[in-house]
């Protein structure tokens, strides 16, 4: 069970892969701009500065997966409640329904399995479990659904109608979010290609016209210019990533 979906703990394998790939990338870029083996080797250790960013990206990716899986869970809950089952039974049945779609180590399966055990063995209420899930997920969609369900239970509303209507609204919202991300994904790729173009151009110049750019590597002015170019390239990549980040 994940205690907080906004916090991602890297596995040993993920850490090794990230540090290896990150170190190599930094080494190559620094060497491309300075042609200094020592500086490149030393600069590679800066990869640890990118760990928080990588963890944030992985947490966002996991939350996106959870939201998609939650949509499928809503379909199962809606069908079970429409058939006359209580929410406790609907949650238990949802695990069985989704087991044919997802592996047991998927986030939604872990959450449903935990709810099942807590309700059957520890006699915890479905409201408390769903509220805890919504709090840990940090997902607006999940939190909205749980809040509507709790209000419905407390006020004695038509559970079947409200859950069905809420499921339809949240599903439509998730579909719109997915369409927006699909439309903008191509622009993100184009932006990343544009961001790394200076690196590719510098590489091509090193290969085919090194004599033309040699003064940039052997003079103080050249070193300063290359440092400014590296800083501008890094800033451009960060800016492009920020611009292409779509929040809905």
- pLDDT tens figures, 84-120: 888 888 999 999 889 888 988 899 999 999 999 999 8
CA distances from 81 to 92, 101, 162, 203 (A): 12, 20, 10, 61
From 63, 68, 120, select the one nearest 93 (Cα to Cα).
Answer: 120
The predicted structure's pLDDT at residue 64: 87
Side-chain half-sphere exposure of 26, counting CA atoms within 13 A: 19
Q: Residue 188 and residue 241: Cα distance in Å, rounded? A: 8
From 173, 171, 167, 174, select the one nearest 79 (Cα to Cα).
Answer: 167
- Give every CB contact of residue 218 below 8 A, 6+ residues apart in sequence: none
The predicted structure's pLDDT at residue 1: 58
- pLDDT tens figures, 204-243: 999 998 888 999 999 999 999 999 999 998 888 888 777 7
Query: What is the rounded end-to-end Cα distance, in angstroms, of the chain?
Result: 27
**What pTM did the predictor assign?**
0.81
């Amino acid at each position: 069970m994940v205690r907080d979906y906004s916090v991602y703990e890297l596995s040993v394998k993920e850490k090794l892969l990230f540090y290896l790939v990150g170190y190599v990338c930094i080494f190559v870029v620094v060497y491309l701009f300075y042609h200094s083996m020592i500086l490149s080797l030393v600069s590679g250790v800066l990869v640890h500065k990118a760990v928080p960013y990588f963890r944030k990206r992985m947490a966002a990716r996991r939350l996106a997966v959870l939201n998609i899986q939650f949509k499928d869970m809503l379909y199962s809950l809606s069908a079970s409640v429409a058939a006359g089952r209580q929410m406790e039974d609907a949650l238990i049945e949802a695990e069985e329904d989704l087991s044919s779609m997802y592996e047991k180590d998927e986030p939604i399966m872990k959450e449903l399995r935990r709810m099942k055990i807590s309700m059957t063995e520890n006699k915890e209420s479905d409201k408390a479990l769903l509220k805890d899930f919504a709090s840990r997920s940090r997902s607006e969609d999940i939190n909205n659904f749980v809040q509507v369900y709790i209000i419905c239970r407390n006020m004695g509303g038509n559970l079947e109608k409200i859950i069905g209507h809420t499921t339809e609204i949240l599903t439509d919202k998730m579909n719109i979010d997915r369409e927006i991300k699909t439309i903008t994904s191509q622009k993100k790729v184009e932006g990343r290609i544009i961001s790394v173009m200076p690196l590719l151009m510098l590489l091509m110049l090193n290969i085919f016209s090194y004599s033309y750019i040699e003064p940039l590597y052997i003079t103080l002015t050249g070193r300063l210019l290359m440092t400014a170019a590296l800083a501008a390239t890094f800033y451009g990549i960060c800016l492009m990533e920020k611009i292409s980040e779509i929040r809905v």
